[in-house]
Amino acid sequence: MVYKFSLTDPRYRGRSIFAVFNFLFMALLMLCMLLPIIKVLSDSFEAGTIYGFNIIPKNPTLDGYKYVLVRGGSEYLRAFGISVLTTIMGTFIGLLLSAIGAYILIQREMPGNKFFGYMFLFTMMFSAGTIPTFLVVKMVGLYNSLWAIILPLSMNVYNLVLMRSFFEQLPQALFEAADIDGCTPIGTFFRIVLPLSKAALASIGLFFAVAMWSEYVHYVIYISDTTKYNFQVKLRTLVIDDTFTLDSNFNASLNTVKNAAIIIAILPFIFIYPFCQKYFMTGVTMGAVKE
């Protein structure tokens, strides 16, 4: 016998009401998140300063983007390049450390396996604080270096734990078969574990990339040379600074330039996320089910 779903069926009436409520709530939530982005996008093409909400600019212009990318020239482009460099290097190093650390922690026969696992978890709950961390960074010679940004952000225990949870879901028979065939642990890691972990690598890599790209506090604390600031720090300075003047050649207001800079800052991940979405949706549930 085949049962068909019907909104009028008393058995499904409660579920249907809940489904409709979920849809309306998520639609409202999505609208609340999209409206500010639409507002900023519209104002980035508006030549004058607009107070209120306009989807279509009344006086469209590209001079806001031209100012950031051309007139701002060396300053903003250098900051954008530093953001790209630190994001790529930090994501690569973070994935490398997380994957190797997670692979080591799933080796149950390794002496001290549980001890190291608990020590990693301990660092998630307790940290030395800003001042001790700053002193350590300065003592090891990383102060005023981009490595002071890349290395601390690359050592993320939460991402390591997520990666370990994913590795633990891999069939044990694969490891046993590789061991029988004479494959070394390193060979098993590169030939079996990593190729089967694309979802985990994509989702955790996205976590690292977003954190690296959006970083602000570490630059203010550990970097004293303003030429080494990333685009986020320059963006904040631009947004709160009302003292700079635009050339008469640019048909744009200060508000136009600020909004254009904000759009440029969020564009990379708008283009990257669609390519990582299928892996990300799989990766966010990794470790949720234990068999």
> Residue 33's pLDDT is what?
86
Say what the pTM is. 0.78
Q: Which of 8-12, 60-64, 206-210 has the lowest mean pLDDT?
A: 8-12
User: What is the model's pLDDT at position 87?
Assistant: 92
Which pLDDT belongs to residue 1?
A: 46
User: Cα separation of 85 and 79, whole Å?
Assistant: 10
The residue whose two tokens read 């069939």 is 171
pLDDT, tens digit, for every residue of 71-92?
666 777 888 889 999 999 999 9
84 is written with which tokens? Answer: 């790209």
Q: Which two tokens stand for residue 101?
A: 């650390």
Q: How far apart are CA 4 and CA 67, in angstroms?
A: 60
Over residues 130-139, the pLDDT tens digits come to 888 888 888 9
Contact 101, 165 (CB under 8 A): no
Q: What is the pLDDT of residues 195-224, one digit of tens each?
A: 888 888 888 888 899 889 988 889 989 998
Domains in the chain, CATH or no CATH each: 72-283 (1.10.3720.10)
Angle at 66 between CA 84 and CA 220, to 5 degrees: 40
Q: What is the mean pLDDT of the chain?
A: 80
Name which residue leads in pLDDT, 35 or 8: 35
Helix, strand and coil percent figures for the chain, each rounded to 5: 70, 0, 30
Nearest to 144 by CA among 224, 90, 206, 221: 224
More confident residue, 147 or 128: 147
The one-letter amino acid at 147: W
